[in-house]
Structure 1
Amino acid sequence: METEAPALLHRARGGWITFPFFIAMGGLLALASGLSVNLITFLKDEFHFEDADAAKINNYVNGTLTFIPIIAAIIADSFVGCFSVICFSSVVSLLGVVMLLLSATVRHLRPPSCEKGSIFCKHPTPLQAALLYLGLALLSVGNGGTRFTLASMGADQLDSTKHQGIFFNWYLFTLYVANFVSVTLMVYVEEHLGWGWGFTIFTMANLVGLVVFLCGTRFYRFVTPNGSPFKSLACVIIAAIKKKKMPLSPQSGDYHHDGDGLNSPTPFFKFLNRAALKREEESSTKIVSPWKLCTVQQVEDLKRLIKIVPIWISGLILCIPIAVQMSYMILQGKTMDNRLNSHFKIPVASIHVCSLLATCVTISLLDRLVFPIWVKLAPTRPPTHLQRIGIGHVITIVSSIVAALVESKRLSQARSHDHKVVPMSLLWLAPQLAIVGVSEGFHFAGQVAFCYQEFPASFKNTATAVVALTVAGGFYSSNLVIDIVQRATAWLPNNINKGRLDNVYWLCSGIGALNLVFYLVCASSYKYHKS
């Protein structure tokens, strides 16, 4: 009875009772990181940075938010587990927000006020700049270390892949809602009530999120890390190379199993099977170096990751058209009429709300309406994650086509009127952004659920963070595409009214179409792992 008690306690924890704690913390921390939405304005207005310097700092912040999840996931998987990483990262994020609050409210911690654009504006002193950079670094590292690790731990509380998929849907929905609040309400607070009020709200959101998360500790299921999974992968590769001349055996007993319950290793990438093939001297001893002999399970885990790589590459390419649209959306908007009526102008950056709203609506409709109906009509063939991602590919191509058509019309208006501001409403950008949002509702949530389901158990936290790396790779690749276009054509001059941005969008449509073909080939040959 004594040995069964811990197992019963382990099973008693977790479940949907933990859902509110993870959703609340995810939303509040996402809101706390929302200051990056209007960060360039803060740097220019309060610290008098030049445009280029402010943009670089903003890129560093967003880059850190994108790459830190991978590092946090590796630490969680290998050493301390999700709970410790989440708590530590939340405290780091809170310290960062507090430093930024001090920079915004304490007069001596920022340069003196001056008229915008004045040549007499003073730059920050080394101490002021150091405090600002430290606050931004802590916020970026802390929030980046929490976002996807929190998603992984939340999914660990549920047992079925169906329930885990539902959790990911609503977790991402919450993040998008928090981003929507940042783009609208928080931007208004910062620009009309003051940066001090804005950072105070961010600080309280971070603090309340951490408290709420800790309040649910007694309900959580904790997964103990089993050491670095990357060491295991390296062992398989090294062991296979050392035994490259050994002939493979069809007999299951010739391979090292260590109680994993598997038969002979699969024929896929059979070169790696040698890592689990026992030499004569290894069969007679119980202690063998892991760099010389691995289990069949370790070999199959590496193979699972190799099978996922083509799907991951297609996801990276999928982000390129989206990144190009987002990069040039602001430049397009600045040349368009942003008046909603005679009394109100739409901030150009706020047009991004169309994408956020579309994603939120899409995720909720898929989870509450479309997928339940699908299951009722075809109970033996429920929708798969790869089908969902594939639909996202198609919709992304449609968004690029719409963007090309809208830009063609904008260019026609610009050339016929020969003005810096085109007599064309900013709302013309709304359809393409809404379509992008719908595509993200399909492919982004699908990628998170797919990676979590298909990655080996020892890589569960890394699995969700890999999606962030996909987005980062897509944005960096889009810069490469833009550089190539600028060198090879005259489509992207400094004045976009004199260029052919519509041709760039047509190029993105072509990239998306070729990538769709590549994805369909990969997805059709992919076989889901059976737990």
Structure 2
Amino acid sequence: MAGERLEMESSPGSQLKPVDQQEAHERQGRKKWITLPFIAGSMLGLGLAINGTSSNLLVYLLKEYNVESIDAAQIANIVRGCLNLAPVAGAVVSDSYFGSFPVILAGTAINVLAFVLFTLTAALPYLRPPHCASPSAACQHGTPGQLTALYAAVCLLAIGTGGTRFNVATLGADQFGTARDQDTFFNWYFVFLYASFIVGDTAIVYLQDGVSWVLGFSVCLGTAVASLVMLVLGARYYKMPAPKGSPYTELARVVVAAVRKARVDIAGREQYYLGDGTVVDSGSDGAPTKRLGFLNRAALITASEGTPDSPGGGHRPSGWRLCTVQQVEDLKSLLGVLPLWSSGILISVSIGVMAGLVILQALAMDRSLGSRFKIPAGSITVCSLAAFIAATPVLERAVFPLWRRATGALPTPLQRVGLGHVVNVAGMVAAALVERRRLSVVCTHHGAEEAPGWVTPMSVLWLIIPLGVVGVGEALHFPGNMAFYYQEFPKTLRGTATAMAPLLIALGFYLSTMFVDVARRVTAWLPGNINQGRLDNVYWAVAVTAAVNFGYFLVCVSLYKSRK
């Protein structure tokens, strides 16, 4: 009877009762969220394998390839940059040609191949230089062939990550139709992503460094295969919008058309092309906005063009000469976001500097927990990830509701990003203070004159303070950035929108490598033995730079106008 009642009420000419409408809405919502276990399972499998390997790459280079400490930190930062830059290329391919799911599938398969090669480098002795008991100039470095095998695995890892990591975010967000649901998904996306990072930075790093590199990489291979299986199992549930050709070609057409009409005299009434033979007068609803007004010429109808596609009008010229108002506004929205996006680069630089140098700090500190267990140096960054995961539900369930009570609305993505900037500056200050304390302990025990491997009698747990503060900052600005780009970018550029945040991370790691290199060349802050350096000054410099950058962010926010 209930089925008959619903069928009758949903027939043509009738309407669903409020109860039935609510039930239908709930069923639709459950159908959207049913994809989350498959997406989350795939993310967890790949995330712990990729991050466990990338976090411990510095130690792998030090112990198995006899690379010098600062050089190993620089190489590890470059690899992290590649792992975050490659998703931009993956987003372009996804938006333009194949869609999210096929690119994710191919990327996952490539990651499986990467971990096969990593496992071989650890299992076959001739793919590594001879083991060196303690770092010294006499240690033999890797041959070109050995390094080729290692870097081939790294390249495959970067390519595979480019197809998977943030295209998964686009695939997940595509399942939902409201900004609130998409916001919630992005928060949980980062929770699952960072949870996988925690497992990678603890269990995988421990297996690699404490038990066996072969076993550690083999586990990574197994989880990558499991990720591939989970992705395929969920394929029947995914909503997969088909790509509509390269959106970048459409944007390029706007630029070309505007340039070609740069010298066209505008006399009388201005008319702009909306598409399908429809035109609109200047100042009317649907006309292009006045910001970046030069680009409006791309949609301007000149005397020689008539009224395209309309009866008695001229034939529409090439798309490289006349564009629609929507194409013009899409390009404007993309260009308008760029200043705000650029303000996030330096915040990623600060995180990149800490990610590279905090492991060297951990190697020089007391990592013992009890009499038998020693924290792997590569696992110390898990504190930042744990802080991110712990902060996210607190922000969602406590802080943001209090914000709404005080202001009448939830914080916007940009407000969350701004708060993240402030917390990040506080994290850099905390890092400088902790390092200053460590150096004072070094001086007290005269350890600066010891060998580079000398351990400061100060617990590595002190590093939890700056890493935790930085993790809370990431919980604010990374999901906020991704939600902002996803909502502000044109629909045809959704993959690119979710790749804008990792592009910031990539540039941050690359520029942090340059920052550290400049500091090594022009100061005495970063010698080979950090016990003889002034790493605290590096953190102070980063904190000051991040504070100035926050001012630049505020200026960009004040000038920005939302496309909505």
Normalised by the length of structure 1, the TM-score is 0.89
Give the counterpart of 2:545 among 511, 526, 529.
511
Q: 1:510 to 1:133 in 2, by over 3 A?
A: closer
CA contact (8 A) 1:112 1:122 kept: yes
Q: 1:404 to 1:251 in 2, by over 3 A?
A: farther
Aligned position for 1:477:
511
Which runs of structure 2 are paired with 1:290-369 in the superposition (5 Å)? 290-369=319-398
CA contact (8 A) 2:80 2:509 kept: no
Give the secondary-structure state (helix, strand or coil) at the position aligned to 1:279: coil
Q: 1:329 to 1:344 in 2, by over 3 A?
A: same
Shift of 1:333: 3.0
CA contact (8 A) 2:67 2:141 kept: yes
Q: Deviations over 1:89-135 (max 9, x none)?
A: 11111122123233433566666777666999877676655444433
Separation in 1, partners of 2:439, 2:136: 33
Separation in 2, partners of 1:57, 1:479: 9
Q: 1:335 to 1:220 in 2, by over 3 A?
A: closer
Give the secondary-structure state (helix, strand or coil) at the position aligned to 1:32: helix
Letter in 2 for 1:76: S
Aligned position for 1:400:
428
Q: 1:189 to 1:338 in 2, by over 3 A?
A: closer
Give the secondary-structure state (helix, strand or coil) at the position aligned to 1:256: strand
Shift of 1:346: 2.8
Separation in 2, partners of 1:481, 1:121: 28
CA contact (8 A) 1:25 1:213 kept: yes
Aligned position for 1:74:
92
Q: Which has the higher helix share?
A: 1
Separation in 2, partners of 1:43, 1:414: 26
Letter in 1 for 2:509: F
Alignment of 1:384 with 2:412, yes or no, is yes
Alignment of 1:221 with 2:239, yes or no, is yes
Alignment of 1:431 with 2:459, yes or no, is no
| Larger displacement relative to structure 2 (436-445 or 130-139) | 130-139
Alignment of 1:65 with 2:83, yes or no, is yes
Q: Percent identity among equivalent residues? A: 43
Letter in 1 for 2:420: G
Separation in 1, partners of 2:534, 2:39: 46
Separation in 1, partners of 2:523, 2:155: 38
Shift of 1:476: 2.4
Gaps of 5+ in 1: 1-10
Give the secondary-structure state (helix, strand or coil) at the position aligned to 1:89: helix
Give the secondary-structure state (helix, strand or coil) at the position aligned to 1:291: coil
Aligned position for 1:5:
none
Aligned position for 2:40:
23
Aligned position for 2:5:
none
Question: When the two structures are aligned, how many residues end up with a matched partner?
Answer: 518
CA contact (8 A) 2:206 2:376 kept: no
Shift of 1:507: 2.4
Give the secondary-structure state (helix, strand or coil) at the position aligned to 1:158: coil
Alignment of 1:463 with 2:481, yes or no, is no
Q: 1:488 to 1:136 in 2, by over 3 A?
A: closer
Gaps of 5+ in 2: 1-27, 307-312, 449-454
Give the secondary-structure state (helix, strand or coil) at the position aligned to 1:424: strand
**Superposition RMSD on alpha carbons, in Å?**
2.9
Separation in 2, partners of 1:390, 1:286: 49
Q: 1:248 to 1:402 in 2, by over 3 A?
A: farther
Separation in 1, partners of 2:401, 2:236: 32
Q: Deviations over 1:416-451 (max 9, x none)?
A: 332134333222221111101110011111111111
Shift of 1:293: 0.9
Separation in 1, partners of 2:81, 2:436: 32
Q: Which has the larger radius of gyration?
A: 2
Q: Deviations over 1:146-199 (max 9, x none)?
A: 100111111001101111111111111111111111111112222344233222
Q: 1:379 to 1:399 in 2, by over 3 A?
A: closer
Aligned position for 1:3:
none
